[in-house]
Amino acid sequence: MPPPAIIDLSKLDLNSPIVSTEEIRRVNPQRHEFALLDAIVHIDEANQIFVGYLDISKDDWWVRGHIPGRPLFPGVLMIECAAQMASYLTHKLIKDDAFMGFGGMKDVKFRGTVTPPCRFIIAGRGKSIKKRRSVCECQGFIDDTMVFQAEIHGMRV
């Protein structure tokens, strides 16, 4: 049984980004295939809750090899999406230009498959956001189905 959702996605307009891809790139240094966050649609700074997404297409670079004939979005890329979202949140809250790198993960569970084309939605909540280290609870959704959950740790590098 999945945990309760961090936020009720049905109450959000997932088609109206408040942070564009270009704005995300000003904070997160990932580029090309590893830029895995297309937009952010919700940030609640007071409660440290955030929601963003990655639009996944049938032409993405990983489709050809994972898994031929039945493409599945790799779990490691779900984790990377969540890490990029958590990194953006940390920068937003701390207001620091230092790079917040991936520091670890805990309690990772994959609860479903992600197949193209789709929108992979990441919701998260900051548990401990500090200048040198962050911890965020993250969940991934396809529509209203939770397919992924993890605690993502970031560290200043």
Give the whole-angstrom CA distance, residue 17 versus residue 42. Answer: 8
Q: Point out the catalytic residue in the list 42, 66, 91, 153.
A: 66
What spatial distance separates the first Cα and last Cα of the chain, rounded to whole Å? 36
Q: Catalytic site residue 66? A: yes
DSSP for 12-33, written as a single string: S-TTS-SB-HHHHHHH----GG
Cα–Cα distance, 1 to 33 (Å, whole number): 33
Place of tokens 């520091």: 103
Name the one residue in this structure whose structure tokens are 């940390």: 90
Instruction: Return the structure tokens found at 23.
Output: 């704005």
Catalytic residues: 66
